[in-house]
Amino acid sequence: MMQGMLTSRRRIVLVVIAVALVLVAIGRCNSMKKPEPPPDAGATTTRPVPPPDGGAVGELPPVAGMGGLPQASTGLPQSITVDLQRAPALSADPVKRAVALTEVYRTGDQAVGDIGVLGDDGKLRALDVVRLAAVSDEGGNAHSPFSPTVLSPSGTKAAFPQRDFVLLVDLTRAKVQTLGVPGYNEFVRWLGEDIYVAQGAKSFRIDATNRVTPSDLPATGLAASTSAQQRVELFALDRLPAARVHPPGTDRTIGPLRPGGMAQANWVPYGWVHNGRLAVIAQGTGASAGADSTGRADVLVVIDLATGTVHRELVLSGTGAGRRAVGCCTVLGWLNSQTVLLDVPVPEHWVLAWHTADRNFTKVTQVLPFGQTVGLSLAVSG
């Protein structure tokens, strides 16, 4: 198991059903490995980044008020009922574009599930052209190959890591390609139309022509991005979160950061980059607000990559009316350059849009039925 910068969010949960919707642009993490911090050679570290002023810090709305929030326009239905038993097969009815993928655990198999494809027509299909196996690291720590980052930004393809290969599914034709990537492949990240595959300390890049080459970027700590040119690596620096930006021709480091005033913290998967901004959750101790009964806190951070400054913070955890337990929420990506999509799964499962310009919320969709362990990531825009 890799040690270092990321805090584990996806452990296999022994439940009958878990759903995960995948954003272009999942929910409850079955497992997330901790990569070694990348070498600092050639990178210039900035001074510690100051927190945003008090007016730039927000909090989640109370659960009781989520249903009354204004409705966001995203292309998703106002509610999503996941029932693959009644869903038609994708092979018989391919999508023009997928806005989400779903995962439902098979009875007796908690490491991998059956996949659904939600089209932009609002109809759910069962992904019948692949049957996935669990993946693991070299130590045998198994988890699902499904993650928030398996769906392409275009909503037309999905990539699933498997041992020694990656399955690339064309969702518009219900066709599958097997791309050889020898090793313990665990996670994938889409950066534009490029796929980065993580296996232990190594990673590989699959370009738009399906050519596979070794990569010097650690895909496990790489933020998903709508552009192949926006490459941001998440890691730990002095026991605090940091980010390394890899624009063409030069690298630079942002951090260390102290989200919510934390004394120690790690990034939580997954990070998402869009239009020069990074959205990612930090989890740690010593926060000035948001600590739960264990003393830990979750804070969503939005970073302006051009200036290296913290643009906004959103306190997620704590004991207030709108707060949740640590580990409650997942960033699903960006709706647009000012709006972050957030999965808030309990006690009712909502996907919310946080508008960073005015720090207000709108509701995106509700996942039904209640009582399931559901995670989300979407391929939407608005």
Q: What is the second-level CATH architecture of the domain 18-375?
A: 6 Propeller (2.120)
Phi, psi of 67 (to 5 degrees): -65, -25
Least confident piece of the model among 7-21, 36-50, 131-145: 7-21
pLDDT of 280 over the 80 cut? yes
**pLDDT tens readout for residues 179-200:** 999 999 999 999 999 999 999 8
Is pLDDT at 66 greater than 60 in this prediction? yes
* pTM listed for this prediction: 0.82
- Give the integer Cα–Cα distance in Å for 224 and 255: 19
pLDDT computed for residue 376 by the predictor = 63
pLDDT per residue over 86-116, tens digit each?
999 999 999 999 999 988 776 666 678 888 9
Looking at residue 344, its pLDDT comes to: 87
Q: Residue 134's beta-bridge partner residues?
A: none
Q: Among 77-86, 179-188, 255-264, 269-278, name the most confident range.
A: 179-188
Closest CA to 312 of 337, 329, 293: 337
Contact 333, 270 (CB under 8 A): no
**Nearest partner of 102 among 13, 188, 171, 27, judged by Cα:** 27
